Amino acid sequence: MGFNFNRYGRNGEGDQRPDPREHITVRLDVEDTRILQEVEARLDDMKNRGEISDWCREENNPYDVTPFEQYSPDHHVAHEASTACALKFNEEMRSNPDEFRKFSANKVGFLSDFLPHSLRCCGFRILTNLPTPASQFIDNLASICAEAFRNTVRGRVIENRYVFTERFVHTFLNCICVGGNEEFHVVFNLMRVVTFENLSASLES
């Protein structure tokens, strides 16, 4: 469990108050030892300085990655909402380890049941006719995460609901440490219920 961006803590984006749970997770899929050493050296330097470098602004940025501050407000709201939901998910995981054994054993199965119900509770109207969740715990967990979602999104203007929905789902799964292959299957199972286009169009204002 982690945060996707610097200072996305329990108090929202840009929070300066310390949060002992915050950390940075770097996922790399490279075989070049030289590149790994360069990354590790950069991380060690940031740790020693206590400051996160905005490497996207450096001249040696070969991938032309856009700094997150330049992304649309819809991206920012989606990431704030997904982080808030992931925090609640993680808190419940620590409080109910027995219930989350199913999650640890089979993330795809657990999330394929949980995610549609959670999105329904968040206000995606097209999911109102879902079958009963597999357990009362799943139902309660969906409600708890949805409350965090609503508290974050309430009063915010979402112009591109498709972008918001796709980013919200992806970042939530990323925050709770769902791997790429697992995410593919979770989203595939969600798409068997409803397309992203129809899902995003059904989000309540």
- How does pLDDT run across 90-126, given as a tens digit for each residue? 899 989 999 899 998 999 999 999 999 999 999 999 8
What local confidence, expressed as pLDDT, does residue 41 receive?
A: 87
The answer to whether residues 151 and 85 belong to one domain is yes
Distance CA 55, CA 77 (A): 23
Residue 133 lies in a domain: yes
30/39: higher pLDDT: 39
Residue 2 lies in a domain: no
Distance CA 84, CA 99 (A): 21
Quote the domain boundaries for residue 49: 33-68
Residue 151 lies in a domain: yes
What local confidence, expressed as pLDDT, does residue 172 receive?
A: 94
Residue 23 lies in a domain: no
What local confidence, expressed as pLDDT, does residue 57 receive?
A: 47
The answer to whether residues 81 and 59 belong to one domain is no
- Structural domains in the chain (count): 2
- How does pLDDT run across 18-34, given as a tens digit for each residue? 455 555 656 565 678 88
The answer to whether residues 92 and 173 belong to one domain is yes
- How does pLDDT run across 45-93, given as a tens digit for each residue? 888 887 766 554 455 555 555 666 678 889 989 999 999 999 999 899 9
- The Cα-based distances of 175 to 45, 79, 89, 171 in angstroms read 25, 10, 10, 6
What local confidence, expressed as pLDDT, does residue 127 receive?
A: 83
- How does pLDDT run across 138-159, given as a tens digit for each residue? 999 999 999 999 999 999 999 9
End of a domain among 68, 86, 120? 68
